[in-house]
Amino acid sequence: MAATFYNYIAGEWVPARSGKAFPNENPATREILHYFPDSSADDVGDAMAAAVKAARRWRALPAPRRAELIFRAGQLLLERKEELAREMTQEMGKVLVEARGDVQEGIDMAFYMAGEGRRLFGQTVPSELPNKFAMSVRVPKGVVGAITPWNFPIAIPCWKLMPALVAGNTVVFKPSQFSPKSAWNLVRVLEEAGLPPGVLNVVFGEGAVPGAALVDASAVNHISFTGSTTVGRKVGVRCAELGKSVHLEMGGKNAIIVMDDADLDLAIDGAVWSAFGTSGQRCTAASRLLVHRAVHDRFLDRLVDRVKTLRLGDGLDPRTDVGPVVNQPQYEKVLSYLQIGRDEGATVAVGGGPAKRDGLPPGYFIEPTIFVDVKPEMRIAQEEIFGPVTAAIRVNDLDEAVAINDGVIYGLSSSVFTQDVNKAFRALERITTGIVYVNAGTIGAEIQLPFGGTRATGNGHREAGQAALETYTEWKTLYIDYSGRLQRAQIDLETDDDA
């Protein structure tokens, strides 16, 4: 019998008030691993009340002290990396090496943000008036609601929780229903690291109910959401109605540009890794390949040969290159795009359907698929598929490649393979996505730099690096006049000789 796990509210592990629970399924084997609380608005209300209650004392604790707890959490994640990675693979399917990388990304963020406890820099600037001091400091926003996806079940929560907590916010965390155990493991680590009760609360749930309740919760000041553009847009509209600040990280339709002078071996490695890593279920995945006509056929022939050698299987098996997709709805969605691509007139160069290989467990396996003869306006070249599928488009030159690259609603990540420094810099300058790589694929962002995208990918904010602090803090501007008389800014501009 699979064990049941609980929400964490006000420092206690508690079931949903309704007593209901939902199953957590292994996408490789379809076995039920655990049950988690199927929470409702009442449970979110309890978590919000706990976060409000804890807020005053938490923000009063000096930031270096808060950061020590985050540092301790980083150490615990490091100690448990292997165990956490295995549980992640079991519940969402990515291969073990990538699950380890996911946990590592969380560790990196914990250590980086722990350092921020002794920085959290503000700005001190001269006043225009004598005997007056002016500065700005960062203060927490209050209660933060964090809504996270299943594809990076430790890393993305860490992108949100670590900066939010170091900056002095309290948090209500609503993880994806498709990776609850990883979220539970992370919260347990933060509990053991010594976070006071109520500072971090986690509410599990199936479907939209607890997420919507969190967005609506009156005392939640800021929402940070990572997920689909469809849901994110709704979250953004609701936050606008309620006057809340909101940070959205949404879809992508990223491309690798392969120029005629590219190192093709390198470009093939980059394409395989970026298109089929995490079974293509990254918002940064390379779901388009824009290949110069002079190398198009050579590149694709070799890429297809390589993709044929990829081994599908359970991510826990060290021989596996590509795991399953995360669940039945996602499996069906990806398969429907394979049909859409054919109907649009694209050609399947490799893959193209459910994987029916001998020895595969009964999970959601799809053959790594490359479409060729793709036109930039086809749906498979415009819409986010979030599966092991990529679409190759023939291009004539860099300008055309850049135009096609940017000709989608999304703007997350791009990459260009070229040995020509002029072309590389031209691409870096012109491409309008939030992240651009040269001679590397579209995935693999590092946590000390801003992460996020333009257009329908985001709403102007960035995750990670210093940019993360912008979304979890408010600026407070402080003026101290020690002249002993009323000095009027913009008006009393004569220099005071007695100053």
Query: Which residues sit at the interface with ligand UN1, rule CB under 6 A?
Result: 105, 151-152, 282-284, 443-445
Cβ 471 to ligand UN1 shortest distance, Å:
16
Cβ proximity to ligand UN1, 147 vs 283, nearer residue: 283
- When the beta carbons of 24 and 278 are compared against ligand UN1, the nearer one is 278
Q: Which is nearer to ligand UN1, 109 or 165 (CB)?
A: 109
Q: Give the whole-angstrom CA distance, residue 91 versus residue 27.
A: 7
Judge contact between 157 and 52, C-beta under 8 A. Answer: no
User: What residue spans of 264-392 are helical by DSSP H?
Assistant: 264-276, 296-308, 328-343
Q: Which is nearer to ligand UN1, 145 or 458 (CB)?
A: 458
Residue closer to ligand UN1, measured from CB, 35 or 386: 386
* DSSP state for residue 356 in the 8-state scheme: -
The distance of closest approach from Cβ of residue 152 to ligand UN1 in the complex, given in angstroms and rounded to an integer, is 5
Whole-number Å distance between alpha carbons of 171 and 193: 16
Active site residue 83: no
Q: Report in angstroms the alpha-carbon separations of 293 from 290, 297, 334, 396, 497.
A: 9, 8, 28, 6, 73
Q: Closest approach of Cβ 330 to ligand UN1, in Å?
A: 14
DSSP letter assigned to residue 436: E
Catalytic residue (one of 87, 105, 249, 367): 249
- CA–CA distance, 80 with 308 (Å, rounded to integer): 35
Distance CA 111, CA 446 (A): 13
Shortest Å, Cβ 277 to ligand UN1 = 8
E strand intervals along 346-412: 347-350, 369-372, 389-395, 410-411
Measured from the CB atom, the residue of 129 and 250 that comes closer to ligand UN1 is 250
Q: Which is nearer to ligand UN1, 466 or 483 (CB)?
A: 466
Provide the 3-class DSSP secondary structure of residue 32: strand
Measured distance CA(217)–CA(235) in Å, rounded? 12
The residue annotated as part of the active site, out of 283, 367, 384, 463, is: 283
Q: Are 370 and 393 in contact (CB under 8 A)?
A: no
- Are 180 and 34 spatial neighbours (Cβ–Cβ below 8 Å)? yes
Q: Of 405, 454, 408, 407, give the one whose Cα is nearest residue 259.
A: 405
Compute the least distance from the CB of residue 276 to ligand UN1, in Å.
Answer: 13
Give the burial class of 306: count Cβ atoms within 10 A of its Cβ; 0-12 exposed, 13-18 middle, 19 or more buried: middle
Closest approach of Cβ 456 to ligand UN1, in Å?
A: 15
Tokens of 274: 């970026």
Q: How far is the C-alpha of 314 from the C-alpha of 361, rounded, in Å?
A: 7
Active site residue 87: no
H helices within 61-140, ranges in order? 63-79, 81-92, 96-116
What's the min distance (Å) between Cβ of 14 and ligand UN1? 30
Task: List residues with catalytic annotation.
Answer: 249, 283
